[in-house]
Amino acid sequence: MSNHKEVRVFAPATVANVAVGYDILGFAINRPGDEIVARFNPELDGLKITAITGTGNKVLPFDVEKNTAGVSAQRLLEHLGKADVGIELEVHKRMPFGSGLGSSAASSAGAVVAVNELLGAPLSRESLLYFTVLGEVVADGSFHADNVAPSLVGGITLIRSNESLDIHHLPVPENLHVAVIHPDLEILTKDARAVLSDTVPLGTAVHQMGSLASFIVALYTNDLPLLGRSLHDHIIEPQRKQLIKGFDDVKAAAMSRGALGCSISGAGPSMFAICDSGYLAQAVGQGMIEAFAAHGINSQLYVSPINQEGVVVL
């Protein structure tokens, strides 16, 4: 067991789906994110959540079995045969709820890394993935890794199979930056999933498969023009954009300022725009802010390269 009495980590926000890869693509950004603290407490019999901050007017459960971070950490401890070890867990939210930025995923990823490090890091990062996904199930009832995988290990991740957690890292072109804008709206993942049709016309599916395949080719060949031509969501975006007031104008603003592509981050309402430089991402993001403001909506901008570290120990 580790000599550490306390471990504090930062788990980054993520952009899931990335337009062309519903439930199978995601990448991490530098900010925002969550801080998780795990510490030994010999007076406890097992895991206990002792502090939750940064929730605003939202109430998150302290019950380990009802909290995404708690469930992930508890399943890890059970797997390691350490369920009776006294550990305090603190969850410090540094990102908005229902934002489409992987808030629950960041908490889950941070919790398993913090507890794993506290115990001397018996498992690799990749081996922790299963436990982080279990926390996502608590959040929205779906077993998917498109947020937790990039938050945990960083970079752009492709999930060939969520069921078997067959995860692969994709290359990140040099200078690639993203503008992520979070409007003052809230969309719960379960509500965003409810608007989706269970059927997809064959022609639409073919277009989407072509876009996904060429997106991956663009990453491997560092072909940014091809990447831009690939970032078109033919299936999910047309159904979900109705949930985001001003979506078409915000996307038009991003594209008119030179973004390679723009779409919904995760379940929304956040939107992302991929750009070929940090300077351009800042300008694109400002245009998106102005477009939301024209619809009476305040928003917050985050500009970041692709975060290739994932959860970091502070």
Query: Which amino acids are annotated catalytic?
Result: 136, 189
206 vs 235: CA distance, rounded Å: 11
310 annotated ligand binder: no
44 annotated ligand binder: no
Q: For residue 286, which amino acid is it? A: Q
101 annotated ligand binder: yes
105 annotated ligand binder: yes
96 annotated ligand binder: yes
69 vs 110: CA distance, rounded Å: 8
Terminal alpha carbon distance of the chain: 20
Dmax over Cα atoms in the chain, in whole Å? 61
42 annotated ligand binder: no
97 annotated ligand binder: yes
79 vs 302: CA distance, rounded Å: 37
Query: H helices of the chain, where?
Result: 68-79, 103-118, 125-140, 148-153, 189-194, 202-221, 224-230, 237-240, 247-256, 278-293
Residues linked to residue 33 through DSSP beta bridges, in sequence order: 12
256 annotated ligand binder: no
99 annotated ligand binder: yes
The full 3-state SS of 249-310, as one line of letters, equals: HHHHHHHHCCCCEEEECCCCCCEEEEECCHHHHHHHHHHHHHHHHCCCCCEEEEEEEECCCC
224 annotated ligand binder: no
Query: Whose CA is closest to 93, among 84, 79, 83, 103?
Result: 103
Q: For residue 300, which amino acid is it? A: Q
231 annotated ligand binder: no
Q: Which residues are annotated as a binding site?
A: 96-106
Q: Which residues are annotated as a binding site for ATP?
A: 96-106
